[in-house]
Amino acid sequence: MNVQQLKLLFELKALQNLQGKKEAPTTSFHDLFHELLTTETNEETETIRPSLPLMTTEETHAPTYEKGNTPLSSNSMQQWIDEAATKYDVDPKLIYAVIRHESNFNPQAKSRAGAMGLMQLMPSTARMLGVQDAFDPKQNIEGGTKYLRQLLDRYDGNMALALAAYNAGPRNVDKHGGIPPFRETMNYVKKVMQTYYATSRIV
């Protein structure tokens, strides 16, 4: 474990102490992804953005989604995530974790604020990233991953700050000199990092 990983673990621990919850047990990365898409769980469906409409259990865990007449399988989504991860040098586990807490793997998710698709890109952010159709899962994943790369570079690889900026915007992170004291953002960073570390062993 390197210094950066230790730093992230300390940050996660601090966030956990604020909420009084323990980290989820470690499990297989790809197994978790397929489980999230294909099985019922006892975990309550949560939406990180308050304005993101709640999805039914069937929608949350369906193995495929339809875009036009083209079915979207979990294998296709996994391939696009892996491709974007390689292209932008972002850990695929982080992309999975962000998608899990942004849209729960629903490529048609849209918040009242206008955030769209798997990685909940705002229209202005999508344009900046060159995403023409934010509801196209491949474009959305690539755009969201590119944005994560930019934020990781901006904050010298600090995952917690990059995630805080992804949720609350870089201006708020810069203004507060760290994770903004917003309940939504603090919960978001904690939960995404918990999912990330819970999938630390890749098959």
Which residues are identified as catalytic?
102
Give Cα 172 distance to the centre of its chain: 19
For residue 114, give the nearest of 124, 128, 101 by alpha carbon. Answer: 124
Phi, psi of 67 (to 5 degrees): -125, 105
Rounded CA-CA distance 95/118 in Å is: 10
Tokens read off for 173: 């992170």
DSSP 97-128: HHHHHHTTT-TT-B-TT--BTTTTB-HHHHHH
Asked if 194 contacts 19 with a C-beta cutoff of 8 angstroms, the reply is no
